[in-house]
Amino acid sequence: MYRNSKRIVFLYSPGEDWGLWEGIAEYASMHSQWLLYNPLFFQFDDDDANVYKWLREFKPDGLIVPNSRTNLDDILKLDIPVIVHRNLNEKTGGRPVILGDGKSIGEMAAIHFIRMGFQYFGCYVYENHVPMQERASSFTGKAAGAGFDVCHFHKARPENLNLWNAELNLLADWLKSLPKPIGIMAGDDVLSVNILMACRIAGLLIPQQVAVIGINNTKTICETQIPKLSSVALGYHKAGFEAAKLLDDLINGKVQPAGQTIFIEPTHVVRRHSTDYMAIGDQDVANAMNFIHQSSVKLLQVVDVVEQTNLSQTILQKRFREAIGCTISQEIKRVCADKIADMLLNTNMTISEIALLIGFTDPDHISRYFRQVKGMTPSAYRKKYGIIPAH
């Protein structure tokens, strides 16, 4: 049964961008001739030279590899169709490449803080890490475009525990020096954890003084911290599926082995406790925003929000638009659409079930509602970004 199989190697360490593996595995499940190999999954004590030797002798039909590997140049010289994931630096060897959409990622994080009323912004990323630097540049540009300055903490990645401990203390000193309240984007979810730890060292409150958002929405990280971490979710699964399809085309000679780019796009912000704070000077508007964001998945009406204040609907609408830049109804729709998006990507509920849970009586209504905010129907959104196929 394996005579005509295609042997595909996914050369990643355990836990490293695992969403790509999920997308590749889904593609493989639809193509019975694909056999997936990940030698690093077993954590053998092999150095780069032995991995290269194994690849040369094994001669897989296709390979997906991150460009963080020190022996990437040698690997690319092997006669193997390959797709390179640029997860560290610029170097890709001129091959088909998987790239993070750093511009959209940074902008999404900045918009999250801007909508929450923050006037002070910070950014914490590693030097010489191209994807993080791209996110930081975009975050800074978006905040600057809205009239805000951004404070930066850019350091080299620590190589041992002593350097990591020293970095936490430097980070704590930096955080104490910043104006408050401040919204900080970390280069990824791991760096968000560093901010949490540094805030404890500095005696700073999260999110009241320092609100933090990470990148990747790694649930084993975000959901296990105190407080839980907000994060920008990325479409790794979609990118993995598309990379597998492209690799299959390369193996079959359907496309040329250069020039193709697959983007890892941000899907939405998963808001948790680390950004559960409204830095809005108008307390009535802040209370209204908190109510909108902290409400259950049930669909809100404008009158529900007005009832949380002592203002008339006309006055609250006016002050809300002045502080947030949109109407109460628009904010309700945006927040509700994000909750729908999260259910589309992270549950196997049908669209009709999601509609019923939220309070729509007609599935067509949820489709029109969602499209007004996200620019596509729920089914199209799930097909484009979702891990779980639409029913």
Q: Which helix (H) or strand (E) holds 62?
A: strand 62-66
CA–CA dist 258, 94 (Å, integer): 6
Domain end (from 275, 298, 329): 275
CATH classification of the domain holding 136: 3.40.50.2300
Taking only the tens of pLDDT, the chain with its 391 residues reads 455 788 988 887 656 667 788 888 888 888 778 888 887 766 555 577 888 888 888 899 999 988 888 888 888 888 889 998 887 767 776 788 898 899 999 999 999 999 888 999 999 999 988 899 999 999 999 999 999 999 999 988 888 899 999 999 999 999 999 999 999 999 999 999 999 999 999 999 999 899 999 999 988 899 999 899 999 999 888 899 999 999 999 988 887 767 788 999 999 999 899 998 877 878 888 888 888 888 877 788 899 999 888 899 999 999 998 888 889 999 899 888 988 988 888 788 899 999 888 888 877 889 999 999 988 899 888 887 775 443 3
Whether residue 1 is contained in a domain is answered as no
Whether residue 311 is contained in a domain is answered as yes
Cβ atoms of 325 and 366 closer than 8 Å: no
Token duo for residue 128: 């010489």
Kindly report whether the peptide bond that precedes residue 158 is cis, defined as omega within 30 degrees of 0: no
148/165 same-domain check:
yes
106/229 same-domain check:
yes
244/223 same-domain check:
no
CA–CA dist 329, 305 (Å, integer): 10
CA–CA dist 215, 212 (Å, integer): 10
89/154 same-domain check:
no
Sequence-distant contacts of 68-72: CB under 8 A, at least 24 apart:
69/11
222/249 same-domain check:
no
CATH classification of the domain holding 368: 1.10.10.60
Whether residue 391 is contained in a domain is answered as no
Whether residue 14 is contained in a domain is answered as yes
Task: Collect all residues with Cβ–Cβ distance below 8 Å to 295 and sequence separation of at least 6.
Answer: 304
158/260 same-domain check:
no
Whether residue 390 is contained in a domain is answered as no
- In order of 12, 83, 266, 328, 331, the CA distances from 335 in angstroms are 35, 37, 16, 11, 6
227/308 same-domain check:
no
Q: Which is nearest to 168 in space by CA: 205, 194, 132?
A: 194
Whether residue 240 is contained in a domain is answered as yes
Beta bridge partners of 150: 121
pTM of the model: 0.80
DSSP output for 108-135? HHHHHHHHTT---EEEEEETT-HHHHHH
52/143 same-domain check:
no
Residue carrying the six token digits 């836990």:
15
Whether residue 128 is contained in a domain is answered as yes
Q: Which is nearest to 154 in space by CA: 137, 141, 142?
A: 137
288/363 same-domain check:
yes
Confidence at residue 114, expressed as pLDDT on a 0 to 100 scale: 92
Confidence at residue 282, expressed as pLDDT on a 0 to 100 scale: 84
Whether residue 136 is contained in a domain is answered as yes
217/249 same-domain check:
no
Token duo for residue 7: 């042997």
* Domains in the chain, number: 3
CA–CA dist 72, 44 (Å, integer): 19
Confidence at residue 256, expressed as pLDDT on a 0 to 100 scale: 75
Phi-psi region of 145 (alpha: psi -120 to 50; beta: other; left: phi over 0): alpha
**Exposed, middle or buried by CB within 10 Å (0-12, 13-18, 19+), for 107?**
buried
164/64 same-domain check:
no
DSSP output for 293-307? HHS-SSPP-HHHHHT
Domain end (from 275, 306, 338): 275
Domain end (from 218, 247, 275): 275
86/51 same-domain check:
yes
> Which amino acid would we find at residue 157?
R
Give the range of the structural domain holding residue 25, as residue numbers without chain letter.
6-100+236-267
First to last CA, the chain: 31
**Exposed, middle or buried by CB within 10 Å (0-12, 13-18, 19+), for 51?**
buried
